[in-house]
Amino acid sequence: MKVGIIGAGSMGSGIAQVAATAGCQVIVIDSNPEILAKAENALRKILGRLVEKGKLSQEKINDIFGKIQYAQDINLLAQSDLIIEAIVENLEVKQNVIRQLETLATDQCILATNTSSLSISAIAASCAIPERVVGIHFFNPAPLMPLVEIVPAVQTSNEVLNHAKSVIDSWGKITVLVKDTPGFIVNRVARPFYGEALRIYDESIEGLPKGQDGMATIDWAMKEIGGFKMGPFTLMDFIGNDINYAVTSTVYKSFFYDGRYKPSFTQKALSDAGYLGRKTGKGFYDYSADAPKPQPIEDSELGNRIVNRVLTMLINEAADALFWNIASREAIDLAMTKGVNYPKGLLKWADEIGINNCVTMMDELYEIYKEERYRCSPLLRRMAKENKTFY
């Protein structure tokens, strides 16, 4: 199979590695020769480390690298069976690229977008044959993260959808089918992990210290009590505040400014200042060598309040995704465990906590704030009334 990748950034390079490892012939296209050279050198280092660790043989590494071509000429993609664009999260830019790809690709070629939050239907609408456009959303780093969201546009044909899913399955990935709505599963359901943590910090709930110690306390609670692999502030710094803020803003606007997805002024300020996290040396935390280490308050009562509030908001979002038929319950739970490494599927977690308890917590938050942000999902409320569980 011949696969074309548009964009030689970390995501495009990662997808290329996955496809080549699965035996595909891959061409990575980028207009910037420096980015292409950087991507090629980075892949050499990555594959070299895999040899050193004994995870792959030198012969296999040579085979993978031999299947990838780096180039600037987009016309080289003319004979591709599948082309995946992995460029900037800008609707107009993606539409222009997909439209250009359509003019040079064969009618049988599947055109895919790796967008994390933009409308697949809007991207497909730029094409004369929108039926062959589909969303194939990998998670970063693509070679390591097992989940891929397969997202049909309104226009996508069943044949293209099934073929795209079959291809990505054959690459060894775990795929979930998702309705074309803002954020799909993961970037929609995960918003409260960041947003509610920021809200707790911004309002400085009782017992929470100010500044980085407060952020560290929230991170400590979510890791040590909640069981998450990384706290929200550490994770936002790892992702990049520019990227995380942009996704939140896109989801917020795409949901017609629904208050549940309202971005944080704190994160906007950091993004505007260029404090983007690890990649700039400063974000929510200061990563310079001489910076003082934040000291969390390791108080179980405070920690449980933090975890219960964030977790309930996450569960409410997952339940609402199911209520609106964004995906099946199994797909939602699978997406959150395999896409962002949550310790449990949120709907299974709701059953353990008790759906009545989740509804009570949401209602208590709404009583305090009277904001749409804290409205309880109709599905949760109905299930509590009928004494039902998700599983």
Catalytic pick from 114, 116, 254, 271? Answer: 116
CA-to-CA dists, residue 86 to 56, 62, 335, 370, angstroms? 26, 25, 20, 40
Catalytic pick from 102, 149, 196, 317? Answer: 149
Tell me the residue length of the chain: 391
Is 116 among the residues known to form the active site? Answer: yes
Is 187 among the residues known to form the active site? Answer: yes
Catalytic pick from 80, 102, 119, 137? Answer: 137
Is 166 among the residues known to form the active site? Answer: no
CA dihedral defined by 205, 312, 286, 187, rounded to 10 degrees? -140
Q: Other CB atoms closer than 10 Å to residue 280's CB: what's the count?
A: 16
At 176 the three-state DSSP class reads strand
Q: Which residue has the tokens 């003019």?
A: 103
CA dihedral (192, 193, 199, 204) positive or negative: positive
Catalytic pick from 13, 80, 187, 264? Answer: 187
Task: Extract long-range pairs of 93-100: CB within 8 Å, 24+ residues apart.
Answer: 94/118, 94/123, 95/122, 95/123, 95/125, 95/126, 96/126, 97/6, 98/123, 98/124, 98/126, 98/127, 98/133, 99/126, 99/127, 100/74
Distance between CA atoms of 287 and 279, rounded to whole angstroms? 10
Distance between CA atoms of 48 and 325, rounded to whole angstroms? 44
**What is the separation of C-alpha 288 from the centre of its chain, rounded to a whole number of angstroms?**
28
Residue numbers annotated as active site: 116, 137, 149, 187
